[in-house]
Structure 1
Amino acid sequence: MENQDKLEQDKQEEPVSLLSRSLVTGFVGGLLGGFFGIVLFYFNFSEVSPKSYLLRSWLTASWIDSWLGTVLSILMIGVISLLTAFIYYVLFKKINSLMMGIAYGIVMWFIVFYIIQPIFPNIPPLMELSANTIVSTVCLYILYGTFIGYSISYDYNDTMYKLRADKERKS
């Protein structure tokens, strides 16, 4: 009976999968990126707000300009960021380099501000954006890409190192 009933302190937690941790990293990165995007817009470093992309493009309700629109935009960016983290996880997780995260951020900026921009009617084309907006948003995307990329790559490489060390220790 005593062997069957383990003490609570002796039970080991189920490890969280690497993919799950990567998705959490993506969600948190999206929340932080969305928050700082709102800050850039609020302090006039950028003429484009995350609300402009996600809500104002398709909705005309008055609540979009309130705190609810801001919070909903940030949460939506967090959810969309799950996809970007998953893509990074699948394609680049083995590359443990800050440069890969920087490049990933720049590519995402180019996709958002150039390739898919035409589906957002209230966002000016890239050539009509101010230099402040371009520089500020590129910097934000570089920080976001670096956060996502380096966090996922570091976690992957650290996990693989620990697995190899455990395997060597057992043999």
Structure 2
Amino acid sequence: MADDKVSREEMKEKPMSFMTLVVLTGLIGGIIFACLAYLAYIFSFTEIPPRVILEPWALGDWKKGWLGTVIAIILIGVISIVAALLYYVTLRRFNNIWAGIAYGIVLFLLVFFVLNPIFPGIRPFNKIDLNTIVTSICLYVLFGLFVGYTISYEENEINSSKKEKEVTSQ
């Protein structure tokens, strides 16, 4: 009977580490929002396809087909891990939606103003149509909100459980 109890305790899943959650949040958020951006491109809400990220580095016409789109979406997911880690380092203690929204706006400004010359598929900001700008801002804000709220919520939960343990141990 004692062996049965030990084996059940060993079989319990260990909770995911906070850093693993941050990495998965970035990856999944990047893939989801890159897919949403692709749908926005298909339905002509934006003139910028996700595969624009491949233009500076990849040669050949394959990047303009379905393979280029799939690889671009995965690459955006991987790059989004870096964005999630950056949020973790800088803003995780802010437990409100405004930090995530602001983070999304900062990412939008970074891509469309600072990194714009790297991507030949993205026209200068003053020549981009209004639908593309509004759609892109919305997607970046939603990405920032998703990443920010997920990370900040988990940080708040960890801090709350630590405080509860301190209170109960006293």
TM-score after normalising by structure 2: 0.92
What corresponds to 1:83 in structure 2?
Answer: 82
Structure 1 residue 104, shift from structure 2 partner:
0.4
In the alignment, the residues of structure 2 paired with residue 41 and residue 156 of structure 1 have an alpha-carbon distance, to the nearest angstrom, of: 35
More moved, 143-152 vs 62-71: 62-71
CA contact (8 A) 2:55 2:120 kept: no
CA contact (8 A) 1:64 1:70 kept: yes
More moved, 3-12 vs 13-22: 3-12
Of Structure 1 and Structure 2, which has the larger fraction of its residues in helix?
Answer: 2
Which consecutive residues of structure 2, in runs of 5 or more, have no partner in the other structure?
A: none
Displacement over 4 Å in runs of 4+:
2-6
**Deviation readout 1:130-149 (Å, 9 max, x if unpaired):** 00000000001010000000
What corresponds to 2:18 in structure 1?
Answer: 18
In the alignment, the residues of structure 2 paired with residue 121 and residue 90 of structure 1 have an alpha-carbon distance, to the nearest angstrom, of: 31
In the alignment, the residues of structure 2 paired with residue 83 and residue 27 of structure 1 have an alpha-carbon distance, to the nearest angstrom, of: 9
What corresponds to 1:8 in structure 2?
Answer: 7
**Deviation readout 1:80-122 (Å, 9 max, x if unpaired):** 0011000100111010111111100000000001111111223
**Deviation readout 1:31-90 (Å, 9 max, x if unpaired):** 1111011111111100111101x1123334222122211111110011000110001001
Aligned pair count reads: 169
CA RMSD after TM alignment: 1.7
TM-score after normalising by structure 1: 0.91
In the alignment, the residues of structure 2 paired with residue 9 and residue 25 of structure 1 have an alpha-carbon distance, to the nearest angstrom, of: 30
